[in-house]
Amino acid sequence: MKATVHVMLKTGVLDPQGEAVRHALGALGFDGVNSVRQGKVIELDLADGTSEADVTAMCEKLLANTVIESFRVDMS
């Protein structure tokens, strides 16, 4: 079983990496980009019986800083 965790900064949290990407895209001539939010994707290969609740606990304890980041878990 696999789980994909999408982690993004919460709305309102300054995203300096996203701003740097937006600026670089503008410098390359891509003027239509108004904002960029950068996050991370974590893919987990899980043992049978690992639940979505287990993955959520992993996110809350290690994979995401829940003070400034939100996360979404996709199980497949």
- The enclosing domain of 62 has a CATH number of 3.30.1280.10
DSSP result, 19-73: HHHHHHHHHTT-TT------EEEEEEE--TT--HHHHHHHIIIII--TTTEEEEE
The range of the structural domain enclosing residue 38 comes to 2-75
Structurally, the chain folds into a number of domains equal to 1
pLDDT digits (tens, 9 = 90+) for 5-59: 999 999 999 999 999 999 999 999 999 999 999 999 999 999 999 999 999 999 9
pTM of the predicted model over 0.85: yes
Output the pLDDT for position 69. 98
